[in-house]
Amino acid sequence: MDYLKYTSSLDKNMIKTQCAYCGSYVLSYSEEAFCHFCEGHVSKTESNNDQTYQSILSIRNLISTKHTSEAISAADSLSIKQTSPRVLFGLANIYRTLSNHIYFDTNYNLDGFMYKNSDNIYLSLDLISKSKEMFYKHIKLSVETDPISTFTLFISNLKLERMIYAKKLLEKLVNMPGLISNYAIMAYSAENKLKQADISALKMIDSSTNSLYYLSKCLINMNKREEAEKILERLTTTIDMPDAFYLLLKLRRLKDETKI
Ligand SMILES: [Zn+2]
């Protein structure tokens, strides 16, 4: 199957919205969308202008402009005694991306003991443990009031790889209206390497740009790395999706290693 043809969905006209969890700009085909950065549910009717949201926005901007140390300090300040589930979910994803950023900043061509690399690896591990702490707090303090809060809890459990809990939440989500159910099925199937996970991703091709990221994951599981790489290259030139970008870097590193 020619999977690359599905990237043509990126040529469609897209709407620009902003995520209420992390402040990222989201490009979507309709007013209902999923954030490229945190996967939070995004709709035009949700808006936030409070002080904490402004803080999240400034951290997101620091990440975009590669001011990593400043972004870590600002995230550390905002996370102290933080009890808002929405902010905790945003922070968990911010720490996750910062951890990946630091990890992929390691340079294996350095001579000697690679002291800079070991510093980066320790910092990356520290940041991923902060991310997990924020996801756990989000789960602890969230109350399921509507499909969106159930969906956000599902994403937190999925990113913590707590698949038993994610599956229980998925069972609640499958009958919910809108795109939420199909998105949850796609993400769960790809992360658990289920049979026909690629079919679930293809179902979402015209509804969410993030489906191309999940399709790439499925192709990697199917040993179609070259096709996955091409899709990720095309996706990351159009959409600012850190998870897709780091998956592409990982694929390229694996390719370099096998050449040696
Ligand atoms: Zn977001």
> Could you count the other beta carbons within 10 Å of the beta carbon of residue 90?
33
pLDDT for residue 54 is more than 70: yes
Out of 1-5, 133-137, 221-225, which region has the weakest mean confidence (pLDDT)?
Answer: 1-5
Residue 39 CA to ligand 1 centre (angstroms): 6
Identify the pLDDT of residue 118: 82
Identify the pLDDT of residue 114: 54
pLDDT for residue 50 is more than 90: no
How is residue 171 annotated by DSSP? H
Residue 133 CA to ligand 1 centre (angstroms): 18
Identify the pLDDT of residue 48: 63
Strands (E) across the chain are located at 15-18, 25-28, 32-34, 41-43
Average pLDDT of every residue of the chain: 91
pTM of the model: 0.92
Residue 36 CA to ligand 1 centre (angstroms): 7
DSSP 59-122: HHHHHHTT-HHHHHHHHHHHHTT---HHHHHHHHHHHHHHHHHHHTT--TT--TT-HHHHHHHH
Residue 181 CA to ligand 1 centre (angstroms): 18
pLDDT band at 154 (very low <50, low <70, confident <90, very high): very high
Identify the pLDDT of residue 2: 87
Identify the pLDDT of residue 142: 96
Mean pLDDT of 135-164: 97
Mean pLDDT of 2-8: 92
pLDDT tens-digit series, residues 118-128: 888 899 999 99
pLDDT tens-digit series, residues 177-207: 889 999 999 999 999 999 999 999 999 999 9
Identify the pLDDT of residue 133: 98
Identify the pLDDT of residue 116: 64
- Three-class DSSP category at 139: helix
Residue 168 CA to ligand 1 centre (angstroms): 23
Residues in the 5 Å CB sphere of ion ligand 1: 19, 21-22, 24, 35, 37-38, 40
Residue 122 CA to ligand 1 centre (angstroms): 26
Residue 21 CA to ligand 1 centre (angstroms): 5
Residue 244 CA to ligand 1 centre (angstroms): 14
Residue 233 CA to ligand 1 centre (angstroms): 21
Helix axes 115-141 and 147-159, enclosed angle (nearest 10): 150
Identify the pLDDT of residue 49: 66
Nearest to 148 by CA among 122, 172, 168, 124: 172
Mean pLDDT of 244-258: 90
pLDDT tens-digit series, residues 80-117: 999 999 999 999 999 999 999 999 876 555 454 555 67
Per-residue tokens: 186: 């796609």
